[in-house]
Amino acid sequence: MSKPTITQVIKSVLAAAIGVQSNDNRQKDFEQGSFSTYLIVGLIFTVLFVCGIVFLVSTVLGK
């Protein structure tokens, strides 16, 4: 078993964030992946998501 690539980690985090992660992929992530890698990618995704929402709302409201 090899460690997942960064692309696979990003895909897994995005799938988990929107709720379409399969059970098989979730189990594979826990068995093969590193917690710190998923944590860092998850935090980056969360920050980008919040910034995107703030930008979208400020653009729509014209502020």
pLDDT digits (tens, 9 = 90+) for 19-47: 898 889 888 888 888 899 999 999 999 99
Q: What is the pLDDT of residue 1?
A: 65
8 Å CB contact between 13 and 42:
yes
Residue 14 has pLDDT above 90, yes or no: yes
Q: What is the pLDDT of residue 29?
A: 87
Rounded distance, CA 32 to CA 58, Å? 40
Q: What is the pLDDT of residue 58?
A: 95
pLDDT band of residue 2 (cuts 50, 70, 90) is confident
What mean pLDDT comes out for the span 7-29?
90
